[in-house]
Amino acid sequence: MGIAETAPVIETPLVRGYPLIGSVLGMAKDPARFFLDCYREYGPVFRVKILSKTYTVIAGVEAANFLGTREGKECLRSKEFWQGLVGEYGATRTLTGEDGEAHKELRDIMRRGYSKESIKGRYNELISITDRSIERDWPVGQPAPVLQAMQYMVTDQLGSILTGAAPLEYVQDIRTTILYILNVLVTRQRPKFLLMHPKYKKAKARVFELGEKMIADYYAKKGTKKDEEKNLIDDIMDAHLNNPRVMPASDLVLSLTGPYVAGLDTVANTISCFVYAVLKHPEVLARIHKEVDALFANGRIEEEDLKKIPSVHGAIMETMRLYPIAVAQMRTATKDFTFAGHKIKGGEMLYIGTSVPHFMEEFYPNPEKFDIDRYEKPRSEHMQSGAYSPYGRGPHTCLGKSLAEVQMAISMARLFYRLDLELDPPDYVLQTKTAPTPGPSMEFKVKVKGFRH
């Protein structure tokens, strides 16, 4: 698959939609289902109209794999989708929107700070932060708004671990800024005039204030840290001082507040879905309780201990399969190429539907079933080529993946160890929202019946 100039060219179908708005409704309701249905009806390449723009979608395992191939890297770039965000911050570039060498340079600067290294030896600190959140945001006997509680928990965790400070007073500002920017400038599902809204302007000013505080904090502590104590902020600021061509002053706020743009909604939405899915499946809940009771029986945990909670890991993987926060990756064609017999023209805006295989019977028997044992040997259903891509694929694959895995495993293990939770009402069916990041609605609540420990 890929460039095959001699292959016959198939005309790319346009998905039936409504006049003027095109496929906005299908995309807004359930984008994962929408892409799957289109893939079944039209094949691996089709076009969708969203408001006034037409996008080409390439979907399925071949499309997922294409992202990681040499051809894929040559034919696709990320720049255009992120340009609006870069301009809005008065920056020159951002990690997600760079390609080729320039992207590699930036990724190398941030790799250590975003990696699992940043959390090495700090698992018990992460547990303490999780405990703090449990005691603050999950009052016994009352319905707890799950997504909101998770947003505060994740900000506390990412802030403390990656940046050295937990900016809880900025959570709503960060979220408002992400919401407007992703909706208006990145996914372009909302009109531009919304950026004039005072609510957005105030939130953005506060995010800049947070960025400036991080810079001031770096200078206040400069020269006092050993290399192994340095965090993402130190690495970005050191790069700015040593190599301002790669990290100019104009790009600092965007880079320094990056962990929140990349990690807040992604993790908060995923672990909120985890809570729902686990409470919906009492047999899974029982297995998780058994594992986490053993995990925390001795108080502190070591890195090795995380291997002892396979059901928690299986439930996280299954949550990310069924509730992917990145349904598709957005790219632009750098040049004309042929994919699955379809001609794609240079400059076309593309969605790469990497989550489509997540819902296909061909890869995941009984795909609607929340089955946490799919990932264990010998089944290893996720190991089929191109079948599982919750963290994306290719050069932009999630840089925080290994960190997120530890963060989610510890948070969920601790939450279910400490709290006795129940869906409220017990037969509750999850309501979701899709913009900007797919996930549960803010109304999703669970009842905290009491403390287990």
Q: Which residues bind ligand HEM (CB under 6 A)?
A: 78, 95-96, 107, 114, 158, 258-259, 262-263, 266-267, 270, 320, 325-326, 329, 390-392, 396, 398-400, 403-404
Q: Smallest gap, in angstroms, from Cβ of residue 431 to ligand HEM?
A: 20
Q: Which is nearer to ligand HEM, 329 or 338 (CB)?
A: 329
Residues 119/126, Cβ–Cβ less than 8 Å: yes
Q: Which is nearer to ligand HEM, 14 or 102 (CB)?
A: 102
Q: Which is nearer to ligand HEM, 317 or 448 (CB)?
A: 317
DSSP per position, 356-425: GGGG-TTTSSSTTS--TTTTSTTT-GGGSTTS--TT--GGGS-TTHHHHHHHHHHHHHHHHHHEEEEESS
Closest residue to ligand HEM, judged by C-beta, is 400
Task: Provide the total of helices (H) and of strands (E) in the chain, helices listed first.
Answer: 16, 12
Q: Which is nearer to ligand HEM, 34 or 42 (CB)?
A: 34
DSSP state of 442: T
Q: Smallest gap, in angstroms, from Cβ of residue 219 to ligand HEM?
A: 23
Query: What strands lie across the sheet with 143-145, from one edge to the other?
Result: 143-145, 445-451, 419-423
Q: Smallest gap, in angstroms, from Cβ of residue 120 to ligand HEM?
A: 15
Helices 258-280 & 171-180, crossing angle to 10 degrees?
A: 100
Q: Which is nearer to ligand HEM, 160 or 329 (CB)?
A: 329
Q: Smallest gap, in angstroms, from Cβ of residue 196 to ligand HEM?
A: 27
Strands 53-59, 349-353: pairing is parallel
Q: Smallest gap, in angstroms, from Cβ of residue 145 to ligand HEM?
A: 19
Q: Which is nearer to ligand HEM, 176 or 329 (CB)?
A: 329
Please tell me the number of Cα atoms within 13 Å of 310 on its side-chain side.
7
Q: Smallest gap, in angstroms, from Cβ of residue 273 to ligand HEM?
A: 10
- Residue 30: in which H helix or E strand, if any? none
The amino acid occupying position 295 is L
Q: Which is nearer to ligand HEM, 14 or 326 (CB)?
A: 326
Q: Smallest gap, in angstroms, from Cβ of residue 76 to ligand HEM?
A: 10
Q: Smallest gap, in angstroms, from Cβ of residue 399 to ligand HEM?
A: 4
Residues 377/73, Cβ–Cβ less than 8 Å: no
Q: How far apart are the first and last CA of the chain?
A: 54
Q: Which is nearer to ligand HEM, 203 or 267 (CB)?
A: 267
Q: Which is nearer to ligand HEM, 279 or 398 (CB)?
A: 398
Q: Smallest gap, in angstroms, from Cβ of residue 389 to ligand HEM?
A: 7
DSSP per position, 110-157: HHHHHSGGGGTT-HHHHHHHHHHHHHHH--TTSEEEHHHHHHHHHHHH
* Alpha carbons 65 and 377: distance in angstroms, whole number: 22
Q: Smallest gap, in angstroms, from Cβ of residue 432 to ligand HEM?
A: 15
Q: Smallest gap, in angstroms, from Cβ of residue 24 to ligand HEM?
A: 21
Q: Which is nearer to ligand HEM, 317 or 344 (CB)?
A: 317
Find residue 331's DSSP bridge partners. 350
* Alpha carbons 149 and 365: distance in angstroms, whole number: 34
b/e sequence 16-47, b meaning 16+ C-beta within 10 Å: ebeeeebbbebbeeebbebbbebbeebbbbbb
- Residue 140: in which H helix or E strand, if any? none
Q: Which is nearer to ligand HEM, 97 or 367 (CB)?
A: 97
Q: Which residue has the tokens 């900000």?
A: 155
Q: Smallest gap, in angstroms, from Cβ of residue 110 to ligand HEM?
A: 6
* Alpha carbons 339 and 48: distance in angstroms, whole number: 17
Assigned token pair, 207: 């995010």
Residue 425: φ, ψ to 5°: -70, 165
Cβ count within 10 A of residue 319: 25
Q: Which is nearer to ligand HEM, 179 or 330 (CB)?
A: 330
C-alpha dihedral (227, 231, 233, 237), degrees to nearest 10: 10
